[in-house]
Amino acid sequence: MQNSLLQTTLFITFMMSLFCAASMLPCGRYYYEPEGGYVGNPWVKFSYQYVYVYLAWIIHHLDALDHYIFQFSQTLVRKSNMYSLRFFRANNTRKSNNMTA
């Protein structure tokens, strides 16, 4: 695995969600009433949902997304540098041609 800030942040959020879900389990604060819907702490509900999503391997595929974002940013920087150098060289040759004429 690469050193990805995005993956590190999502893993830290996963660990915090695990701690939140585990701390609420003995108290019984997470339950669902048929007529009222979810009753309880919304952070526990978010924690359970995030743990399910994380364990479903959806978030582990961010390595590929991070790779494509990195490739795009590197290509963008390379091409913008190439265009700016071409622009400045064209302007410098025009200025030097105007001064000699």
**What are 64-100's pLDDT values in tens digits?**
777 888 899 999 999 998 888 887 777 777 666 666 6
Q: Decide if pLDDT at 44 tops 90.
A: no
CA separation (Å) from 9 to 47, 70, 82, 97?
Answer: 15, 17, 34, 55
Angstrom distance (rounded) from CA 81 to CA 45 = 48
The domain ranges of the chain are 5-100
Mean pLDDT of 7-36: 74
Question: So what's the pLDDT on residue 27?
Answer: 58
Contact 63, 3 (CB under 8 A): no
* Choice among 9-13, 34-38, 56-60 with the minimum mean pLDDT: 34-38
Question: So what's the pLDDT on residue 39?
Answer: 62
